[in-house]
Amino acid sequence: MGSSGATPGTPAGGPSAPGRQAGGTPRAALAELLAGNRRFVSGQPVHGHDVTAAAAAASGDQQPYAVVLGCIDSRVPLEAIFDQTFGAICVIRTGGHVLDRAVCGSIEYVVGQLGVPLVMVLGHERCGAVGAAVDALRAGERPGGSLSHLVDEIAPAVIEAGLDDPAVHPLAIRRHVRRTVRTLRDDDLLAGPVAAGRVAVVGGLYDLATGEVALVDPA
């Protein structure tokens, strides 16, 4: 997972690595992430997609200030929509930003070993994974293979939104973001740093039409 510059075994929320980007606080990290999205939306990115092997080599030791958990959707390239360069953010992508032990362990590592103060869960409009869960629940048929895990994890948000509601898909997307945020805030190794204010876990929603990321309230 890369050199951390921290002592192995440091608990989540422990000492930050030196040279931490973006001020080292959850608020500063979130401000930097959203500022990058504003640059992206305005068509004035600092980094954009113009990245090279030389830029990667020059990034040095990784000192990210945020970890972003997003969907695998090919229309949502996370480094691009937040206008971030090599070494700035850690990215995890799964279908519908669904959690499993590997994802949670990766986030625990980034927070505990790299001293990252911000975790963002990013959903997006017209999410296919959420659509698959809606379709499966309406049909009353659980899909085969590991796709069933995605459906099972998203299904509670669909049920909360109301399966018969015509707007169930967009409503479920937002509810699923909120549920994922709550799960991470309650994680055994994250709950303490979150309660102490050293780490923030926030939700966001990416608009495919405008490119804008809006924060999703935790309610």
- Beta-carbon contacts of residue 29 (< 8 Å; ≥ 6 apart): 22, 23, 65, 66, 116, 117, 118, 200
Least confident of 19-28, 99-108, 187-196: 19-28
Is residue 217 very low, low, confident or very high in pLDDT (cuts 50, 70, 90)? confident
Question: Where residue 22 falls among pLDDT bands split at 50, 70, 90?
Answer: low
Positions of E strands within the chain:
66-71, 89-94, 118-124, 200-206, 213-216
Q: Given a cut of 80, is residue 70 above it in pLDDT?
A: yes
Listed in sequence order, the residues at least 6 apart from 25 whose beta carbon sits closer than 8 Å to its beta carbon are 117
What confidence score (pLDDT) does residue 78 get? 96
**How many whole angstroms separate alpha carbon 67 and alpha carbon 119?**
5
Q: How confident is the model at residue 47 (pLDDT cuts 50, 70, 90)?
A: confident
- The residue-averaged pLDDT of 43-64 equals 74
First-to-last alpha carbon distance for the chain, in angstroms, is: 34
Least confident of 52-56, 67-71, 85-89, 127-131: 52-56
The pLDDT value given to residue 3: 44
Output the pLDDT for position 110: 96
pLDDT above 50 for 4: no
